[in-house]
Amino acid sequence: MRLPFLSRPSTPAVERRRQPRLRARGDSFVRIEGRDVALINWSEEGFLAGPYAGGLIAGQKAMMRIVVRDFHDRAGKLDLELAAVIKRIDGRGIAGRFYAPERYKQLALKDYYAKKRAE
Protein backbone atom coordinates (compact mmCIF):
# COMPACT_ATOMS: atom_id res chain seq x y z
CA MET A 1 0.00 0.00 0.00
CA ARG A 2 1.41 3.37 -1.00
CA LEU A 3 0.58 6.43 1.07
CA PRO A 4 0.64 9.50 -1.18
CA PHE A 5 1.41 12.03 1.55
CA LEU A 6 4.51 10.06 2.61
CA SER A 7 5.87 9.52 -0.89
CA ARG A 8 5.89 13.13 -2.09
CA PRO A 9 9.32 14.55 -2.86
CA SER A 10 10.46 17.30 -0.56
CA THR A 11 10.80 20.75 -2.06
CA PRO A 12 14.03 22.68 -1.54
CA ALA A 13 14.04 25.70 0.74
CA VAL A 14 13.61 28.93 -1.21
CA GLU A 15 15.33 32.15 -0.23
CA ARG A 16 12.52 34.70 0.13
CA ARG A 17 14.48 37.69 1.39
CA ARG A 18 14.85 40.70 -0.83
CA GLN A 19 18.40 41.27 0.43
CA PRO A 20 20.87 38.72 1.66
CA ARG A 21 21.71 38.95 5.33
CA LEU A 22 25.22 39.95 6.35
CA ARG A 23 26.92 38.02 9.13
CA ALA A 24 28.08 40.09 12.08
CA ARG A 25 31.83 39.63 12.58
CA GLY A 26 32.63 41.45 15.75
CA ASP A 27 31.14 42.98 18.84
CA SER A 28 27.68 43.56 17.38
CA PHE A 29 24.49 43.39 19.41
CA VAL A 30 20.84 44.31 19.67
CA ARG A 31 19.67 45.84 22.95
CA ILE A 32 16.17 44.52 23.61
CA GLU A 33 14.32 45.13 26.88
CA GLY A 34 17.52 46.48 28.44
CA ARG A 35 19.56 43.34 27.63
CA ASP A 36 22.22 42.93 24.97
CA VAL A 37 21.61 40.03 22.59
CA ALA A 38 24.40 39.04 20.19
CA LEU A 39 23.66 39.94 16.57
CA ILE A 40 23.94 36.90 14.26
CA ASN A 41 23.07 38.51 10.92
CA TRP A 42 21.31 41.58 9.59
CA SER A 43 20.18 43.47 6.48
CA GLU A 44 18.72 46.90 5.90
CA GLU A 45 15.27 45.40 6.53
CA GLY A 46 15.77 43.18 9.56
CA PHE A 47 17.96 41.14 11.90
CA LEU A 48 18.50 37.83 13.67
CA ALA A 49 19.97 37.90 17.18
CA GLY A 50 20.36 35.19 19.75
CA PRO A 51 20.16 33.43 22.02
CA TYR A 52 17.10 35.26 23.32
CA ALA A 53 15.17 34.62 26.52
CA GLY A 54 12.72 37.42 27.10
CA GLY A 55 9.11 38.40 27.14
CA LEU A 56 8.49 39.43 23.53
CA ILE A 57 6.22 37.42 21.24
CA ALA A 58 5.88 37.14 17.46
CA GLY A 59 3.88 40.01 15.98
CA GLN A 60 4.73 42.44 18.76
CA LYS A 61 6.39 45.80 18.08
CA ALA A 62 9.36 46.76 20.22
CA MET A 63 11.95 49.52 20.42
CA MET A 64 15.54 48.37 20.21
CA ARG A 65 19.03 49.64 19.67
CA ILE A 66 21.12 47.91 17.03
CA VAL A 67 24.90 48.30 17.12
CA VAL A 68 26.99 46.83 14.30
CA ARG A 69 30.74 47.11 14.76
CA ASP A 70 33.07 44.65 13.13
CA PHE A 71 36.67 44.14 14.12
CA HIS A 72 39.15 46.18 12.00
CA ASP A 73 36.33 47.82 10.09
CA ARG A 74 36.95 50.80 7.84
CA ALA A 75 33.25 51.59 7.52
CA GLY A 76 32.96 52.55 11.17
CA LYS A 77 30.02 51.43 13.25
CA LEU A 78 26.27 51.61 12.95
CA ASP A 79 24.37 52.58 16.10
CA LEU A 80 20.63 53.22 15.72
CA GLU A 81 17.52 53.21 17.90
CA LEU A 82 14.75 51.56 15.86
CA ALA A 83 11.30 50.05 16.18
CA ALA A 84 10.90 46.49 14.93
CA VAL A 85 8.15 43.94 14.48
CA ILE A 86 9.15 40.58 15.91
CA LYS A 87 8.74 37.94 13.21
CA ARG A 88 9.75 34.81 15.12
CA ILE A 89 11.39 33.56 18.28
CA ASP A 90 12.83 30.06 18.14
CA GLY A 91 15.92 28.05 19.07
CA ARG A 92 18.18 30.21 16.89
CA GLY A 93 17.10 33.47 18.48
CA ILE A 94 14.83 36.41 17.78
CA ALA A 95 14.17 37.67 14.25
CA GLY A 96 12.61 41.01 13.46
CA ARG A 97 11.89 43.44 10.67
CA PHE A 98 12.52 47.15 11.15
CA TYR A 99 9.24 49.05 11.34
CA ALA A 100 8.86 52.45 9.67
CA PRO A 101 12.28 53.93 10.45
CA GLU A 102 12.69 57.66 10.09
CA ARG A 103 14.14 58.72 6.74
CA TYR A 104 17.61 59.56 8.07
CA LYS A 105 17.81 56.20 9.88
CA GLN A 106 16.65 54.37 6.77
CA LEU A 107 19.33 56.14 4.70
CA ALA A 108 21.99 55.33 7.33
CA LEU A 109 20.99 51.65 7.22
CA LYS A 110 21.01 51.63 3.42
CA ASP A 111 24.42 53.34 3.15
CA TYR A 112 26.06 51.16 5.79
CA TYR A 113 24.59 48.00 4.24
CA ALA A 114 25.92 49.00 0.80
CA LYS A 115 29.41 49.59 2.24
CA LYS A 116 29.40 46.21 3.98
CA ARG A 117 28.15 44.41 0.84
CA ALA A 118 31.01 45.93 -1.15
CA GLU A 119 33.64 44.51 1.22
pLDDT computed for residue 103 by the predictor: 95
Entry pTM: 0.79
Dump strand ranges (E) for 8-119: 22-23, 29-32, 35-42, 46-49, 61-68, 78-90, 93-98
Q: How confident is the model at residue 4 (pLDDT cuts 50, 70, 90)?
A: low
- Cα–Cα distance between 100 and 65 in angstroms, integer? 15
Q: Is the pLDDT of residue 106 over 80?
A: yes
Amino acid at 63: M
Residue ranges in the chain assigned as alpha helix (H): 103-118
pLDDT computed for residue 73 by the predictor: 74
pLDDT computed for residue 38 by the predictor: 95
Radius of gyration of the chain (CA): 17
Q: Is the pLDDT of residue 1 over 60?
A: no
pLDDT in tens, 42-75: 998 999 999 998 899 999 999 999 999 887 777 7
Please tell me whether residue 26 adopts helix, strand or coil conformation: strand
Between 113 and 12, residue with greater pLDDT: 113
pLDDT computed for residue 6 by the predictor: 56
pLDDT in tens, 82-103: 999 999 999 999 999 999 999 9
With contact defined as beta carbons under 8 Å apart, do 58 and 88 qualify? yes
